[in-house]
Structure 1
Amino acid sequence: MAQTITSLSLTAADDVKILQQIATAVAETLGFKRFHATRLVTCALELARNVIEHGGGGFARLSLHEPRGGAVMLRLAFADQGSGIDDLEEALAGHGTRAMGDGLGLGLAGVRRMADAFNVDTGATGTRIHADFAAPVETSDLARVAEDAGNRCDEILMRESNADRRIRQLETDLSARELTIGEVHHRTANNLTMIASLIRMEQRRAEADETRDVLASLGIRVDSMARTHKLLQAGTGETVEPGPYLQQISALAETFNRADLQVEVEIDSDDMPIPARLALDLGLITGELVTNAFKHAFPDRSKGRISIRLVTQNDTIFYRFSDDGVGLPEGHKPERSGSLGWRMIRTTVSSNMGHMTVDVSGGVTVEMSFPRIS
C-alpha cells in the first residue's frame, strides 16, 4: 500500500529551497523527532542538488509506503534526465563527484548511510533513487497522515507559486513603469529644449536691453528644467547627481559673460544623489541666483566670482550660494522682495520644506537646508 504525498519538479536552485520547506513540513506532520527530521531533510537536499547539478533536472516525489510485515516508510524518490552514473560502485563507496558532492558534502554514500533503505537505478536515460526512512506512523493512520502532509505541501507550493508570479509581475510592471517614465522624461526634455530655443530666437530679435534680459532669464529657467529631465532619462531612478547638473545650470548663466566682464563660477558638491524634484527646483534657484549676480553684483568690474556648494549630511541637504559682488544696500531684504525671481525662490524653498537665510553684506550669500526625503 502506498500513498503519494506530493511531487515537485527540480530545475533550479529555488526548487531546492521549496523542497527543503516541503521535507521539513512532512517530517513535522509525520512526527519525526528533530534528529531524524534533520537527517531526512539533509538527504533530500543532497539528492535534489545532484538531480539539478549533475542530472540536468528532474523531479522529486514523497510518499508513504507500508512494506509487508514492516513499519511505515517515508520514501524520497528522485529521478533525473542525465546520462547516468559512470561508476555506481565507486559513487556508493564514497568516491567520485556524485559520491562527495559539492554542496552538503554527503553524496550518495552519505545518503545511503543515513537512509533505512536505499536503492539506485542508473543508465543512459537517467538515474532513479529511492531513499526510505522509517516513519513514526501507525498503519491505521497512514492514509490520514499522508493526506494531512499533502495538504501542507500544497499550501507551500501554492504560496511559492503565487509569490513567484507576484515577483515576476512586479518585475514586469516595474520595467514597464521605468520605460514609461523614461519616455516621459525624454519627451518633456525635448519639448522644453524646443521652447528654450524659441525663447533664445526671440531674445536675439529683441531690441530693448530689458526685453533681452527678461528673455535670457526665462530661457535659463526653461533650459534648466530640460536638463533635469535629460539626466533623469539617462539615470536609473528618480534621483540626480547634483554636481554635474549644477555645472550645466551655471554654464547656462555664463552666457551673460561679456567682453568687459568675466565671472568665474565654482561648484563644490559631494556625490550623494538628491531627489529629482529637489534637483529641478535647485536648478531653477541656481539659475536665478547666478543670473541676478551677473546682472547686478559686478558693476564697473571686469571680474567676479560665484561659489555654489551642495552637500548632504545625515538626512539634511545643505545648499550655499555666494558671490563677491557689491552686495545690496543696508536694510534691503531680497528674501522679502516682490520680484518674480525671489518670489519663485521663496515658494520653491517652502514647497520642499526648506529653510533659507540671506546675507547681503560684502556680496550676496544665500544658505538653504532641506530634509532629504526620497
Structure 2
Amino acid sequence: ESIKNSELRYRRLFESAQDGILILDVDNGKITDVNPYLMDLIGYTYAEIIGKSLWEISPFQDIVENKAKFLELRQKEYVHYENLPLLNKTGKVIHVEFVSNVYLVNESKVIQCNIRDIEKRKKLEAAREIVLEGKVTLLRELKHRIKNSLAIIVGLINMESNRSSDPVIKETLLKIRNRINSISNLYNLLNSMNTVDEIQLDQYIEKMSGLLVQSYSNENYKINLELHLDKVPIDVDIALSVGLILNELVTNALIHAFPDDRSGSVRIALKHKNNDVIIEVSDDGIGLPPGFRVDDSEGLGMKLVRMLSEQIQGSFEKIACDKGAQFRIKFPFVRTI
C-alpha cells in the first residue's frame, strides 16, 4: 500500500510538473515516458514519442544526433545546456534549459531529461539589457553635457583673466581654471575610454600634468616633466579627488619652486603596491620655506589637498629631501566591481 501511494504521488507530480520530463531507457535511448507539459511544448503526441529513440525526435536532434553521442551522454551521467533552441512540430523555435541525469529505479538505471521553457526569462533579460543600454546612453550624454558646460566656464574665466591687469587676480583665475580643467580632463578621458565608472589613473595623470606644465611654460620658462607611472585602474570618484590633489601640488611647484624663470624638473611617480596606491610629487626647485609643516599650512591649496586626502581615506605627508620639495599621497586601492 505504501509503495502504491508513493508511486501515485510521483505520478501526480510527473503529470502536473511545469517542466518537460522525458524518461529514457539507459541501454538503448528509447523514450519510456513523457509528461503532458513536454508534449504541449514540442507539439508531439504521446504515441509519436513513446518507444522512439531520443535522436529520432526532431526537437532533440541537436542534443543527440546519433547513438554514439547518446552513449557519451550516458557515460557522463549528467548533461546541462543553459540555453538550447528547440524546433517544435509547428516550426517555432523555443529556447529551453536542458538537464539530463542518470539514476537508479528499482536497481535499474534510467535517464531523466528535464526541459524548462526559458522564453519568458530571455525576454526579461532582453528587456533588462535595453534598460541598461538606455541608462549607459543617458550617462554618456550627461558626461558630454558636463564636459561642454565646463568648457564654457573655462572660456569665461579666460575672458575675465584677459580683461584684468591685476597679477593677483590673474593668478587666482588661472588656479581656478586649472582646477576646473582637472575635472574636465577626467570627463574627456571617460568619453575616450567608453566607460562610466572606472579609468586608468596613469593616463589621467599624464594628460592632466602635461596640460598644467604647458599652461605655465613660455619661451623663458622651461620646466621638464618626469613621469614614472604604473598602470592603475581606479574608481572615477576617487580619480576626481586625486586629480584635484595633483593639480594643487603640481601648480604649487610650477608657481613657487622655480622663481626668476629658472629651469627645473617636476617629477610624478605612481605606484600600486600591495593594496595601496602611492603617488609622489617632487621638484628640484628652491625648496619649501623654513619650518614648513603640511598640517599648519593655511593656504587654500594645502587645505584642499588635506581635505581630499581624508575624503579618499588616504594620507598626505611631506617627505624629507636634499633638494626641492617632495610630497606623498597614499590611499587604499579600490576598484569598481
- 1:250 to 2:240 alignment: no
For the residues of structure 2 that align with 1:110 and 1:192, how far apart are their CA atoms? Answer: 64
Kindly state the Cα deviation for residue 322 of structure 1 after the two structures are TM-superposed: 0.8
Kindly state the Cα deviation for residue 363 of structure 1 after the two structures are TM-superposed: 1.8
- 1:331 to 2:277 alignment: no
Q: Alignment partner for residue 213 of structure 1, among 162, 171, 191? A: 171
For the residues of structure 1 that align with 2:15 and 2:310, how far apart are their CA atoms? Answer: 64
Corresponding residue of 1:359: 319
Kindly state the Cα deviation for residue 269 of structure 1 after the two structures are TM-superposed: 1.6
Corresponding residue of 2:180: 222
For the residues of structure 2 that align with 1:38 and 1:174, how far apart are their CA atoms? Answer: 48
- 1:78 to 2:57 alignment: yes
Amino acid aligned to 1:36: V
Amino acid aligned to 2:269: R
Q: Alignment partner for residue 343 of structure 1, among 295, 303, 313? A: 303
For the residues of structure 1 that align with 2:43 and 2:53, how far apart are their CA atoms? Answer: 8
Q: Alignment partner for residue 190 of structure 1, among 148, 153, 160? A: 148
Q: Alignment partner for residue 26 of structure 2, among 29, 36, 42? A: 36
Amino acid aligned to 1:308: I
User: 1:1-374, aligned counterparts within 5 Å?
Assistant: 22=20, 26-27=22-23, 36=26, 39=29, 60=42, 64-65=46-47, 73=51, 78-79=57-58, 107=66, 156-157=116-117, 160-234=118-192, 235-254=194-213, 255-300=215-260, 302-359=262-319, 361=321, 362-373=323-334, 374=336
Kindly state the Cα deviation for residue 63 of structure 1 after the two structures are TM-superposed: 5.8
For the residues of structure 2 that align with 1:63 and 1:365, how far apart are their CA atoms? Answer: 82
For the residues of structure 2 that align with 1:111 and 1:262, how far apart are their CA atoms? Answer: 77
Check the 8 A contact 1:5/1:63 in 2, yes or no.
no
Kindly state the Cα deviation for residue 109 of structure 1 after the two structures are TM-superposed: 7.9
For the residues of structure 1 that align with 2:28 and 2:238, how far apart are their CA atoms? Answer: 55
Kindly state the Cα deviation for residue 73 of structure 1 after the two structures are TM-superposed: 4.7
For the residues of structure 2 that align with 1:345 and 1:110, how far apart are their CA atoms? Answer: 67
Superposed CA deviations along residues 11-31 of structure 1, whole A, max 9, x for unmatched, are xxxxxxxxxx855xx33xxxx
TM-score between both structures, scaled by the size of structure 2: 0.69
Q: Which runs of 5+ in 2 are unaligned?
A: 1-13, 32-40, 74-89, 92-104, 107-111
Q: Which runs of 5+ in 1 are unaligned?
A: 7-20, 42-58, 81-97, 115-124, 127-135, 138-148
Distance 1:301 1:360, change over 3 A: farther
Check the 8 A contact 1:328/1:360 in 2, yes or no.
no
Distance 1:38 1:249, change over 3 A: farther
Amino acid aligned to 1:78: I
Indicate the percent of aligned positions where both proteins have the same amino acid. Answer: 25
TM-score between both structures, scaled by the size of structure 1: 0.63
Provide the secondary structure at the position in 1 that maps to 2:26: helix
Check the 8 A contact 2:265/2:283 in 1, yes or no.
yes
Kindly state the Cα deviation for residue 276 of structure 1 after the two structures are TM-superposed: 0.9
Aligned structure 1 segments of 4 or more residues deviating by more than 6 angstroms: 108-112
Kindly state the Cα deviation for residue 241 of structure 1 after the two structures are TM-superposed: 1.6
Amino acid aligned to 1:248: K
Kindly state the Cα deviation for residue 169 of structure 1 after the two structures are TM-superposed: 2.4
Superposed CA deviations along residues 304-338 of structure 1, whole A, max 9, x for unmatched, are 10111122234322211111112213321134322
Q: Over the residues paired in the alignment, what is the CA RMSD in angstroms?
A: 4.1
Distance 1:368 1:66, change over 3 A: closer
Kindly state the Cα deviation for residue 37 of structure 1 after the two structures are TM-superposed: 8.8
Amino acid aligned to 1:185: K
For the residues of structure 2 that align with 1:167 and 1:337, how far apart are their CA atoms? Answer: 55
Amino acid aligned to 1:205: R
For the residues of structure 2 that align with 1:323 and 1:256, how far apart are their CA atoms? Answer: 15
Amino acid aligned to 2:119: S
Distance 1:336 1:165, change over 3 A: farther
Amino acid aligned to 1:285: I
For the residues of structure 2 that align with 1:351 and 1:194, how far apart are their CA atoms? Answer: 28
Superposed CA deviations along residues 237-276 of structure 1, whole A, max 9, x for unmatched, are 4111223322221123221123332111122222232111
For the residues of structure 2 that align with 1:347 and 1:38, how far apart are their CA atoms? Answer: 75
